[in-house]
Amino acid sequence: MGSVIQARGLSKRYDTHQAVDNVDLTVEEGAFFGILGPNGAGKTTLLEIIEGIRKPDSGSASIAGLDVWPRNTNLLPRIGVQFQATAFFPKLTAAEQIRTFADLYGAPYERCEALLEQFGLTEKANTGTEELSGGQAQRLSIACSLVHDPQVVFLDEPTAALDPQARRNLWDTLRGINAEGRTVVLTTHYMDEAQTLCDEVAIMDNGRILTVDTPRALIAGIDAPHKITVNTGGIAYDDARRLPGVISVEESTDALTMVTDDPAPVLIALADRRALDGVAVVGATLEDVFLELTGREYRA
Ligand SMILES: Nc1ncnc2c1ncn2[C@@H]1O[C@H](COP(=O)(O)OP(=O)(O)OP(=O)(O)O)[C@@H](O)[C@H]1O
């Protein structure tokens, strides 16, 4: 497999604001690729340029070897672009909505029924889109973007504004789209989402891509301590403080957290004391990576 998206030197300025600043990007075929950054980082602008919807001031991008600008209609059958829920055609039911997309792309209606089924929307087929929940509306908008069986799917913050349960349900749906062999490019400002879903993550801030790698490699590349948490009662604060390799200890009403660069000896010492009840070991996260790269705490 080779790369399916290539972008070189992409830049876009709005008046005085440099929204996208000299971005290079390569996405491998079949990847689940995330563009992660805080609000205003330039993710949407970058995505729109790569989709061929927005003209860059400079630089170029191609999908499957075809230049995206000037607008290339040969690309349309190959790419799926998620329409925001608010961009539904007014007054249509879920089934009418997706059939309208099928008509635009010349896709068969059987495909619509199959997608409604796949996305758990069969029961909502005759419901007006204004009456769908946030999660159902997002699933429908993603189903619409898949109606012509595209090879590459672009999703712009698909889980924004969803409650935690609906977000997690949508994650399963998104994994399924990628498991079918499609390349997925997703923007998000949720660190946990990028870390959980994506094979590769580009961290974006102030129009620039700061780094691109697998979440695991990004996290392994920084020097952040582990936190080991156990239920209180198994070990006293002062004892925990003296365990080998423990840097500091935090105590709450029902848990004790030990901070260490080397979890193994601490875990062994806790096991010796039969003090492993409720144990959880948390390493660095992408938030720590962002902090290391920018010097600021991550605020979506
Ligand atoms: N059409 C426009 N005209 C002027 N400025 C714009 C325009 N679109 C975006 N911007 C500005 O460019 C910057 C990048 O916006 P963009 O929407 O690409 O970022 P984003 O990372 O997708 O953020 P969000 O998550 O909030 O959508 C922001 O400061 C935004 O205010």
Percent with pLDDT over 90 in the chain: 82
Domains of the chain: 3-220 (3.40.50.300), 226-283 (3.30.70)
Task: Report the amino acid identity of residue 66.
Answer: L
Tell me the C-alpha distance between 298 and 289, whole Å.
Answer: 9
- Taking the centre of ligand 1 as the mean of its atom positions, its distance from the CA of residue 127, in whole angstroms, is 33
pLDDT at 296: 85
pLDDT at 54: 95
pLDDT at 81: 94
Residue with token string 């490019």: 185
- Taking the centre of ligand 1 as the mean of its atom positions, its distance from the CA of residue 40, in whole angstroms, is 5
- Name the residue at shortest CA distance from atom 2 of ligand 1: 14
Number of helices (H), then strands (E), belonging to the chain: the values are 10, 14
E strand map for the chain: 3-14, 17-28, 32-36, 58-63, 66-67, 79-81, 152-156, 183-188, 200-205, 208-213, 226-231, 246-251, 255-260, 280-282
- Given a cut of 70, is residue 85 above it in pLDDT? no
Two tokens at 145?
């973007």
pLDDT at 90: 87
- Which is the closest atom of ligand 1 to the Cα of 44? 22
**pLDDT category of residue 190 using cuts at 50, 70 and 90:** very high
**pLDDT category of residue 84 using cuts at 50, 70 and 90:** low
- pLDDT single digits (tens) 228-245: 999 999 999 999 999 999
Say if ligand 1 is within 6 A of residue 300 CB.
no
Per the CB < 8 A criterion, the answer to whether 96 and 51 are in contact is no
- Which is the closest atom of ligand 1 to the Cα of 156? 22
- Taking the centre of ligand 1 as the mean of its atom positions, its distance from the CA of residue 42, in whole angstroms, is 6
52, 94, 96, 132, 138 from 124: Cα distances, Å: 33, 7, 11, 8, 13
- Taking the centre of ligand 1 as the mean of its atom positions, its distance from the CA of residue 157, in whole angstroms, is 13
CA 6 to chain centroid, in Å, comes to: 19
Report which of 245, 293, 252, 288 is spatially closest to residue 267, judged by C-alpha positions: 245
Q: Of the residues 14, 50, 84, which should be mutated to test ligand 1's pocket, given the most ligand atoms within 8 Å of the CB?
A: 14
Say if ligand 1 is within 6 A of residue 99 CB.
no
- pLDDT single digits (tens) 5-32: 999 999 999 999 999 999 999 999 999 9
**pLDDT category of residue 223 using cuts at 50, 70 and 90:** confident
9, 37, 145, 193, 227 from 59: Cα distances, Å: 4, 21, 27, 29, 43
Say if ligand 1 is within 6 A of residue 40 CB.
yes
Report which of 84, 76, 70 is spatially closest to residue 134, judged by C-alpha positions: 84
- Name the residue at shortest CA distance from atom 29 of ligand 1: 40
pLDDT-wise least confident of 56-65, 149-158, 188-197, 217-226? 217-226
Exposure b/e, 112-125, CB count within 10 A at least 16 = b = beebbebbebeebb
- pLDDT single digits (tens) 114-128: 999 999 999 999 999
Say if ligand 1 is within 6 A of residue 44 CB.
yes
Per the CB < 8 A criterion, the answer to whether 276 and 234 are in contact is yes
Task: Report the amino acid identity of residue 17.
Answer: H
Per the CB < 8 A criterion, the answer to whether 32 and 178 are in contact is yes
Say if ligand 1 is within 6 A of residue 41 CB.
yes
Tell me the C-alpha distance between 170 and 32, whole Å.
Answer: 15
- Name the residue at shortest CA distance from atom 31 of ligand 1: 40
Per the prediction, the chain carries an average pLDDT of 93
**pLDDT category of residue 160 using cuts at 50, 70 and 90:** confident
pLDDT at 222: 87
- Taking the centre of ligand 1 as the mean of its atom positions, its distance from the CA of residue 54, in whole angstroms, is 13
**pLDDT category of residue 284 using cuts at 50, 70 and 90:** confident
Tell me the C-alpha distance between 193 and 181, whole Å.
Answer: 20
